Amino acid sequence: MVDTQSVTGGDELAQRPNVSAVGPALAVLALAVFAAVTTEVLPIGLLPTISRELHISTSVAGLLVSTYAVMVMLTAVPLTLLTRRIPGRRLLLIGIGSFAVSNLICAFAPTVVVLGVGRALGGMTHAIFFSICIGYSARLVHPSQTGRALALVSAGVAAGLILGAPAATGLGNAVGWRAAFGVLVILMLVVLILLARTLPPAEPRSVADSGRPSGRRRDAAAVMLANALAYVGQYGFYTYVAVLLLQSGAQTSWVAPVLFLFGGFGLFGIWLASRSLDARPRRTALMILLVSGVGMLAVAVGFPSLPLVIIFGVIWNAAFGPAPSLFQSTAIRTNAISPELSGAWLNVSANVGIAAGSALGGVVLGAVGIGNLAWLSSIPILLAAAVVVFARRAFPAR
């Protein structure tokens, strides 16, 4: 359970509204999170298209994913600490504006270097935006409804990962990858207006974590380790899923529909896992990670048969769909650090995994091909499952 006193603090807790009273603000925050995550994953399905236009290899284009992740990894905690005196509402608005600028740079980038600069700015923005969003959402509502508020906002993460990437891929393949970035600029401006109109002020935030038992910090460290390993495996392979489909015989126009298929089953996986995540955290975590890893191995076995790749890809992505919600809820449940720092460290660990996975995946892809990449990418996910087994207090049975 989350210690709501440490999450929110102060004497005015009982006066806070319930989720329904601030529902519009939470819904717009979820939309903002969706737009931010879509910005992060946009290049994944468009790597072949970007590499052809800019005359670079697919592996080099994959660095656009890892550059973004590296900036999140390096700046999430420092920016969270440096901006602790700035009201969360103001930071969220600045963040969305910065996302718009980042995507605008990418849309008009004449070279891969300028494109990388735009992605780096997006990564820094992502770092502070997500750290603040978690704490701000928790402080909007009565402590008894903190979990519901975070779940609603976190739905934007799942939607971005599951639906944002294929939507951007379809748009990019239809009208060009630059237009896809341009559409995100427009979306960010719309979100900025909605946030300015709907976000109420929240109480001053704090990132202090003194007085919390050191054992809880070890639990949080175990969660972050498992999170990082899972993302190494997922993005080591998923970054190059367009290459997988094309080398299995799919046409370019098929990539987006297949990603939507994967995404639809990912949503089903989230719904399925939500029924047991709070009641049986460890068992649910093991199911998510083991089925993800085995599903990825099955893709390797099925390659280059397109029907088998799609079938096993559905299993793999349905299993991994709830992983972000798993690690966020588990990290908060440890009550090891404040919500802002919890969000910052989740950002760091996830993006360590994304950066390492996408970069190493590019090296492996160039050296031994997409089929062997699937085998190797499953290993970190299975190692994350091993962390769950041994870190019993971080991932309790009930």
How confident is residue 7, by pLDDT bands cut at 50, 70 and 90? Answer: very low
Task: Give the count of domains, the chain.
Answer: 1
**pLDDT of amino acid 9:** 46
Burial environment of residue 200 by CB neighbours within 10 A (0 to 12, 13 to 18, 19 or more): exposed
Q: What percent of the chain has pLDDT over 70?
A: 90
How many angstroms separate the CA atoms of 361 and 331, rounded?
A: 27
Q: Give 3-state DSSP helix, strand, coil % of the chain, rounded to 5.
A: 80, 0, 20
The pLDDT of residue 332 is: 75
Token pair listed for 141: 């509502």
Is the residue at 9 inside a domain?
Answer: no
pLDDT for residue 68 is more than 50: yes
CA atoms within 13 A on the CB side of 163: 12
* Lookup: tokens for 378: 């499953």
Average pLDDT over residues 4-15: 48
Q: Can you give the pLDDT at residue 213?
A: 57
Distances from the Cα of 69 to the Cα of 21, 279, 391, angstroms: 35, 32, 26
Summary mean pLDDT of the chain: 87
Structure tokens at 186: 């427009």
**pLDDT the model gives residue 16:** 66
Residue 1, domain member (yes or no) = no
The DSSP symbol for 39 reads H
How many angstroms separate the CA atoms of 224 and 230, rounded? 10
Which residues constitute the domain of residue 48?
A: 22-202+213-390
pLDDT tier, 160 (very low <50, low <70, confident <90, very high otherwise): confident
Q: Is the pLDDT of residue 369 over 70?
A: yes
Q: What is d(CA 77, CA 12) in angstroms, rounded to the nearest whole number?
A: 28
Ranking 365-369, 382-386, 393-397 by mean pLDDT, the lowest is 393-397
More confident residue, 148 or 207: 148
Residue 190 neighbours by CB under 8 Å, 6+ apart? none
Q: For residue 321, what pLDDT is reported? A: 87
CA distance 60 to 223: 31
CA dihedral 390, 375, 318, 130 (to 10 degrees): 70
Q: How confident is the model at residue 15 (pLDDT cuts 50, 70, 90)?
A: low
Quick: pLDDT tens for 85-144: 888 899 999 999 999 999 999 999 999 999 999 999 999 999 999 988 977 887 787 766
**What confidence score (pLDDT) does residue 214 get?**
58
pLDDT at 364 over 50: yes
Q: Is residue 17 part of a domain?
A: no
What's the whole-model pTM score?
Answer: 0.79
Give 14 or 269, the one with higher predicted confidence. Answer: 269
Residue 82 in any domain: the answer is yes
**CATH number of the domain residue 115 falls in:** 1.20.1250.20
- The token duo for 167 is 């939507």
pLDDT at 91: 94
